[in-house]
Amino acid sequence: MIKVYTTPTCAYCHALMDWLDSKGIEYVEMDATKEEGITSVPVTEINGERIVGFDRPAIKRALKNL
C-alpha cells in the first residue's frame, strides 16, 4: 500500500498526487497533521520506506519493489 502524507495547503502534495493519478498509481491520502514523526510534507510511504518531498526518482525506485 502507498500512503501519501499531506496537508491541505501544500502545493507539492497536490502536485505529487496529480502525478500519481496521471500514472494510474493508487494511494491513500493521510493527514500529516495527525501523524507523529511527520515534520514536512509531502511524505510518500511505500512498503514502509518513507520518501520526503516530491522526489520522483526515489518514488520510482520504491515503486519498482512493489
CB count, 10 Å around CB of 31? Answer: 11
**Per-residue pLDDT reduced to its tens digit, 6-45:** 999 999 999 999 999 999 999 999 999 999 889 999 999 9
The C-alpha cell at 45 is 510511504
Enumerate residues 6+ apart whose C-beta is below 8 A from 47.
62, 65, 66
For the chain, the domains span 2-64
Listed as own residue / partner, the contacts of 61-65 with beta carbons closer than 8 Å and 24 or more positions apart are 63/25
Write down the CATH number for the domain with range 2-64: 3.40.30.10
Report pTM: 0.92
